[in-house]
């Protein structure tokens, strides 16, 4: 059977409309086939990047040297760096990616991370990236761990290894986003467990997570990881929320 070109075109357009909503998810402007799915070029390029100066340890922006909080209570990691604020295009993209399973966004989010890798966080100096694990029940529900997808994307471009069998989440906690600051801290305690300790022994590890909010998850994961005797643990997160509720 011969298919007329206009039917083919219509089918293609229907597929595109289905795959790509007609409006930018940030500014609601009409969009077509953009290089980043679901948003217009203007919103994507208006990314709220985090620029120095930042605290040398926790990476909180607009701080020279080390912030007061890190002086009083040094964090368990060497340094934490973040690509951009959890706002605007990044917040929308990460929400669509993580909660609405739009995995087409994994690629542009990975590219964003690679393009804006912090100057004082040299990926080649780490033995491996360790994405923060999610519980196997959540993994089954979501179908992917967002941090692992990002880590795999970074690994593909940079050649650094990704390790996912050292730290496991053996307790399924309530989603951190549903809790206030105090509850997040108690919710996460005891959630992680070490598995293949030897893999991390004497290694330099870059822990990767998608969003940094109160730091409770990252702090707990890093604290547990030190029991595997690595020499260094730094943290990289894609986004940072400045006003956790």
Q: Which is nearer to Zn ion, 68 or 165 (CB)?
A: 68
SS3 state of residue 71: helix
Residue 26 contacts Zn ion per CB under 5 A:
yes
Cβ–Cβ < 8 Å for 91, 46: no
Cβ–Cβ < 8 Å for 102, 18: no
Residue 54 contacts Zn ion per CB under 5 A:
no
Size of the site for Zn ion (CB under 5 A): 11
Residue 235 contacts Zn ion per CB under 5 A:
no
Residue 93 contacts Zn ion per CB under 5 A:
no
Q: Which is nearer to Zn ion, 58 or 96 (CB)?
A: 58
Q: Which is nearer to Zn ion, 70 or 112 (CB)?
A: 70
Q: Candidates 47, 58, 129, 151: give the one binding Zn ion (CB under 5 A).
A: 58
Q: Candidates 67, 96, 188, 228: give the one binding Zn ion (CB under 5 A).
A: 67
Q: Candidates 36, 37, 38, 43: give the one binding Zn ion (CB under 5 A).
A: 43
Cβ–Cβ < 8 Å for 216, 70: no
Q: Which is nearer to Zn ion, 27 or 160 (CB)?
A: 27
Q: Candidates 27, 121, 163, 183: give the one binding Zn ion (CB under 5 A).
A: 27
Residues in the chain: 245
Residue 70 contacts Zn ion per CB under 5 A:
yes
Tokens matching residue 28: 């609601």
Neighbours of 217 (CB within 10 A): 24
Quote the CA–CA distance of 215 and 236 in Å, as a whole number: 12
Q: Which is nearer to Zn ion, 40 or 134 (CB)?
A: 40
Give me the least distance between CB of 234 and Zn ion, in Å please: 14
Cβ–Cβ < 8 Å for 141, 175: no
Task: Give which of 230, 54, 7 is closest to 127, Cα–Cα.
Answer: 230
Give me the least distance between CB of 83 and Zn ion, in Å please: 17
Give me the least distance between CB of 29 and Zn ion, in Å please: 5
Task: Give which of 15, 28, 52, 38 is closest to 109, Cα–Cα.
Answer: 38
Neighbours of 48 (CB within 10 A): 16
Task: Give which of 41, 46, 77, 42 is closest to 59, Cα–Cα.
Answer: 77
Residue 90 contacts Zn ion per CB under 5 A:
no
Residue 47 contacts Zn ion per CB under 5 A:
no
Give contact residues for Zn ion (rule: CB under 5 A): 24, 26-27, 29, 40, 43, 55, 57-58, 67, 70
């Amino acid at each position: 059977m011969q298919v007329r070109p206009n039917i083919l075109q219509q089918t293609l357009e229907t597929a595109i409309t289905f795959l790509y909503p007609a409006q930018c998810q940030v500014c609601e402007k009409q969009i077509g086939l953009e290089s980043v799915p679901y948003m217009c070029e203007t919103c994507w390029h208006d990314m709220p990047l985090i620029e120095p100066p930042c605290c040398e340890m926790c990476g909180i922006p607009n701080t020279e040297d080390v912030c007061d909080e890190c002086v009083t209570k040094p964090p368990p990691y060497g340094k934490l760096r973040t690509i951009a604020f959890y706002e605007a295009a990044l917040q929308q993209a990460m929400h669509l990616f993580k909660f609405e399973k739009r995995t087409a966004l994994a690629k542009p989010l990975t590219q964003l991370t690679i393009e804006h890798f912090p100057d004082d966080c040299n990926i080649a100096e780490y033995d491996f990236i360790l994405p923060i694990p999610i519980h196997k029940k959540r993994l089954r529900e979501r179908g992917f761990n967002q941090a692992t997808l990002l880590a795999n994307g970074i690994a593909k471009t940079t050649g650094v290894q990704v390790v996912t069998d050292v730290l496991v989440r053996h307790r399924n906690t309530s989603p951190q986003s549903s809790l206030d600051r105090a509850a997040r801290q108690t919710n996460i305690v005891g959630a992680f467990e070490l598995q293949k300790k030897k893999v991390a022994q004497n290694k330099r590890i870059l822990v990767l997570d998608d969003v940094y909010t109160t730091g409770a998850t990252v702090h707990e994961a890093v604290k547990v990881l030190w029991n595997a005797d690595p020499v260094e643990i730094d943290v990289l997160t894609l986004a940072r929320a400045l006003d956790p509720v």
